[in-house]
């Protein structure tokens, strides 16, 4: 091998100096450095290539760096322990061997530095390979720690390196969502995720303290992206994937304990939620809260404050907080005073127009499924929903009507809302008070669901048909709401558009002669052609 290499070099050098590909050069250099300590200075060339703009060069440089330093780590050719300054090392009384180690360690450090900088590179391949390389270093460091450790007390893990990577991931200026999603792959390893969580908490706390809570939304967004990518396994037995295997007392390692994971997870989130969040972030957190945060916390009750605060905000945020609250009430015995009253007051015309309509009605259905609710409350909800349906789009009405019917079915004493035979002859004004905030005082039970009667004249045939149901006693069987929750206006449209070819399509029989004439001539009265 050596002779061929030599010949190769000697033969090509004079003739094709310029043509020599960096590939051969770089790979040769790694070999040479590893073989011959006197060629150690070639490392600088490598580092130079690392910063080159040429993608190919860069890739090769990354690969060779990876190979070089991993080998060095394995051979323990990097200085272990507290690293002296370079000048100090030259002057100090170190042996030649040690000097070489110190030199190499310094190069390693600068290589890591360069790679960390490259994490923010805009080219996809560059940051990806940098990240991979860094994680490989981390793995190698874990196996062959650079710190002088007391083996009995400490577990070897490249905490510092991870911390630095995390710091880079949580950039304040650049949206790192791509990088973070790539990093998620490494988060599957239990120890990495454990130490990442603690690093996040540290760095977030530090930065928040420094800026007194006022930080760029991009930073928050990055933090959120990284945090939401971290998941804690549900069972301890699932904690099997580690980057670094501890040789001794592996079972006692914190990173191998589920409880520790949960605790770190909880502290991370609490630390994050302690600070004021922009409303979009608020919503994002609330959306994932109930199924990816609460179950992984060791004490979910700690979220109560956050959730009640969110519930009191009003609007969409309140709607979203419902879900978390439900989990707490349902599984953690949270006693929330005036919960139904607040729920009642959440019913605003806007709930039919927000994005989380389906989720809200799903939960409201759950909350109101209890058969121990007082009648006045159910009646108040029913009446209010019916009133709001007067302003709702058809897709929403198709949710609300079965919802109302289900409520009446569950609470037969609410049947007076649709059937009040005794006072049939005296017409009365609607006694229901829409503005009243307390469902107990809104006099819903004295009213009737005239709104549903109105909806019988709704323009959409499905709505109209659904509203017709109150004309006769409701069937015993409850309607499954989940089927209609996700229905969209376009789906409603499609239902008519994709109907099997009707043979007889009714046509307008009044002859159309002009564009603006016809149909009561409303358009023609207000608009002209030109």
Q: How far is the CB of 178 from other proteins (least distance, A)?
A: 20
Q: 220 near 243, Cβ under 8 Å?
A: no
Q: How far is the CB of 379 from other proteins (least distance, A)?
A: 13
Please state at what angle helix 190-211 crosses helix 258-273, rounded to 10 degrees: 20
In the bound state with other proteins, the residue whose beta carbon lies nearer, of 371 and 525, is 525
Q: 89 near 105, Cβ under 8 Å?
A: no
Q: 161 near 141, Cβ under 8 Å?
A: yes
* Contacts of residue 404, Cβ cutoff 8 Å, sequence gap at least 6: 382, 385, 386, 449, 452
In the bound state with other proteins, the residue whose beta carbon lies nearer, of 131 and 492, is 492
Helix or strand or coil: residue 104? helix
Nearest CA to 23 out of 70, 69, 55 is that of: 55
Q: How far is the CB of 511 from other proteins (least distance, A)?
A: 6
> Distance between CA atoms of 481 and 327, rounded to whole angstroms?
20
> Distance between CA atoms of 195 and 186, rounded to whole angstroms?
12
Backbone angle region of 19, left / alpha / beta, with phi > 0 → left and psi within -120 to 50 → alpha: alpha
* Contacts of residue 414, Cβ cutoff 8 Å, sequence gap at least 6: 375, 378, 379, 382, 407, 408, 445
> Distance between CA atoms of 120 and 173, rounded to whole angstroms?
10
Q: How far is the CB of 302 from other proteins (least distance, A)?
A: 33
Q: How far is the CB of 360 from other proteins (least distance, A)?
A: 15
Q: How far is the CB of 347 from other proteins (least distance, A)?
A: 12
> Distance between CA atoms of 317 and 408, rounded to whole angstroms?
29
- φ, ψ of residue 95 in degrees (nearest 5): -75, 170
Q: How far is the CB of 29 from other proteins (least distance, A)?
A: 50
What are the residue ranges of helices labelled H in 81-236?
86-91, 96-118, 124-143, 159-169, 177-187, 190-211, 217-229
In the bound state with other proteins, the residue whose beta carbon lies nearer, of 71 and 456, is 456
Q: 170 near 202, Cβ under 8 Å?
A: no
In the bound state with other proteins, the residue whose beta carbon lies nearer, of 76 and 415, is 415
In the bound state with other proteins, the residue whose beta carbon lies nearer, of 126 and 467, is 467
442-481 as b/e: b if 16+ CB within 10 A: bbbbbbbbebbeebeebebebbeebbebbeeebeeeebeb
The tokens for 289 are 């809260």
Neighbouring C-alpha atoms within 13 Å toward the C-beta of 36: 8
Q: How far is the CB of 476 from other proteins (least distance, A)?
A: 15
Q: 106 near 83, Cβ under 8 Å?
A: yes
In the bound state with other proteins, the residue whose beta carbon lies nearer, of 171 and 345, is 345
Q: How far is the CB of 465 from other proteins (least distance, A)?
A: 8
What are the residue ranges of helices labelled H in 347-423?
357-367, 375-389, 394-410
> Distance between CA atoms of 157 and 162, rounded to whole angstroms?
9
Q: How far is the CB of 434 from other proteins (least distance, A)?
A: 8
Sign for the pseudo-dihedral over CA of 517, 519, 520, 523: negative
Q: How far is the CB of 282 from other proteins (least distance, A)?
A: 16
Q: How far is the CB of 269 from other proteins (least distance, A)?
A: 27
In the bound state with other proteins, the residue whose beta carbon lies nearer, of 343 and 396, is 396
- φ, ψ of residue 172 in degrees (nearest 5): -90, -15
């Amino acid at each position: 091998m050596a002779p061929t290499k030599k010949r190769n070099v000697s033969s090509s050098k004079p003739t094709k100096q310029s043509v020599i590909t960096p590939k051969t050069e770089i790979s040769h250099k790694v070999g040479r450095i590893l073989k011959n300590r006197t060629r150690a200075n070639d490392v600088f060339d490598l580092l130079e290539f690392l910063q080159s703009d040429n993608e190919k060069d860069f890739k090769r440089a990354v690969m060779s760096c990876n190979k070089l330093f991993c080998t060095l780590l394995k051979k323990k050719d990097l200085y272990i322990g507290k690293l002296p300054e370079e000048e100090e090392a030259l002057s100090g009384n170190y042996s030649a061997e040690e000097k070489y180690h110190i030199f190499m360690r310094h190069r390693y450090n600068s290589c890591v530095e360069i790679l960390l900088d490259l994490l923010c590179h805009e080219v996809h391949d560059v940051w990806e390979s940098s990240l991979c390389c860094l994680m490989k270093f981390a793995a190698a460091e874990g196996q062959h720690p650079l710190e002088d450790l007391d083996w009995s007390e400490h577990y070897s893990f490249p905490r510092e390196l991870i911390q630095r990577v995390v710091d880079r991931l949580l950039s304040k200026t650049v949206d790192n969502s791509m990088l973070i999603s790539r990093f998620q792959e490494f988060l599957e390893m239990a120890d990495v995720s454990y130490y990442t969580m603690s690093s996040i908490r540290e760095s977030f706390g530090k930065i928040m303290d420094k800026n007194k809570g006022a930080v760029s939304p991009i930073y928050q967004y990055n933090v959120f992206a990284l945090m939401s990518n971290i998941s804690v396994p549900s069972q301890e037995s699932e904690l099997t994937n580690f980057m670094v295997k501890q040789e001794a007392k592996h079972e006692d390692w914190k990173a191998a304990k589920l409880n520790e994971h949960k605790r770190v997870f909880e502290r991370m989130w609490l630390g994050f939620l302690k600070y004021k969040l922009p409303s979009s972030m608020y919503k994002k957190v609330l959306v994932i809260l109930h199924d990816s945060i609460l179950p992984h916390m060791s004490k979910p009750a700690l979220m109560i404050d956050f959730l009640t605060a969110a519930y009191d905000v009003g609007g969409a945020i309140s709607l979203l907080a419902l879900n978390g609250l439900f989990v707490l009430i349902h599984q953690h015995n949270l006693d929330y005073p005036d919960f139904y009253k607040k729920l009642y007051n959440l019913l605003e015309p806007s709930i039919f127009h927000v994005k989380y309509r389906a989720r809200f009605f799903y939960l409201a259905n759950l909350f109101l499924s209890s058969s121990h609710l007082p009648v006045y409350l159910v009646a108040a909800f029913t009446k209010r929903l019916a009133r709001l349906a007067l302003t709702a789009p058809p897709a929403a009405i198709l949710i609300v009507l079965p919802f109302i019917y289900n409520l009446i079915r569950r609470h037969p004493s609410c049947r007076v809302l649709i059937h009040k035979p005794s006072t049939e002859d005296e017409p009365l004004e609607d006694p229901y008070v829409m503005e009243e905030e307390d469902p107990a005082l809104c006099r819903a039970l004295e009213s009737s669901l005239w709104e549903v009667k109105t909806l019988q004249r709704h323009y959409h045939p499905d709505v109209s048909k659904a509203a017709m149901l109150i004309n006769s006693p409701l069937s015993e069987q409850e309607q499954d709401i989940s089927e209609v929750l996700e229905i969209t206006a376009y789906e409603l449209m499609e239902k008519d558009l994709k109907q099997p070819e009707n043979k007889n399509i009714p046509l307008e029989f009044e002859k159309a002669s002009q564009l603006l004439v016809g149909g009561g001539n409303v358009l023609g009265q207000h608009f002209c052609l030109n």
